[in-house]
Amino acid sequence: MRMVPCTRDRHAEAILGIFNDAILHSTALYEYAPRTLATIEAWFDAKAAHGFPIMGVETDEGTLMGFGTYGVFRDRPAYKYTVEHSVYVDEAFRRRGVGRRLLEALVDAATTQQVHVLVGGIDAANTASIALHEQLGFVHCGTVREAGFKFGRWLDLAFYQKVLGTPRETLEG
């Protein structure tokens, strides 16, 4: 198992498969329709435009086991030190520490990029993700009740945050 930066050429199709599995079979994404390769390509472009990392964990043979990234939390200047992260692990590789490695790598990357707060929106029934976040020092900061509707039921969205010791300097504007 090794950490790699994800690239469009090498990882777009695997990321598409992981996203679409989550969309079709879980409440990890509050979406209904599978994404397309064009959607993933635009997603890669948006991450690159903001300098946001896309981290992956691969098997020794090069199979993508999972990926994590972060992006804009809210599109207003005063939120520039806060990002919202996400971690997705291929179903075949869950419960092997992949999610932990990805989340730890995102915390490190955010610290390097002078982010102040990492926020994760987690389906409130996803006890594994909540436990992982709590183990890594994230704290519950609120739940939006019945925020989404999927699979014939209302879903609660829990927010977890980790305040980092960065940035060294803050600037308004």
pLDDT digits (tens, 9 = 90+) for 66-125: 999 999 999 999 999 999 999 999 999 999 999 999 999 999 999 999 999 999 999 999
Is the Cβ–Cβ distance between 65 and 91 less than 8 Å? no
Q: How large is the C-alpha radius of gyration of the chain?
A: 16
Among 56, 19, 57, 25, residue whose Cα is nearest residue 40: 19
Which H or E element spans position 33?
Answer: none
Name the pTM for this structure: 0.94
Q: Which domains does the chain carry?
A: 2-163 (3.40.630.30)
Q: What is the pLDDT of residue 160?
A: 98
Average pLDDT over residues 28-57: 97
* CA 25 to each of CA 7, 31, 149: distance values in angstroms, whole numbers, following the listed order: 25, 11, 14
Alpha carbon distance 11, 7 (integer Å): 6
Alpha carbon distance 167, 111 (integer Å): 8
Q: What is the pLDDT of residue 173?
A: 67
pLDDT digits (tens, 9 = 90+) for 116-151: 999 999 999 999 999 999 999 999 999 999 999 999
Is the Cβ–Cβ distance between 24 and 34 less than 8 Å? yes
Which H or E element spans position 139?
Answer: strand 139-150
Which H or E element spans position 116?
Answer: none
Alpha carbon distance 127, 114 (integer Å): 29
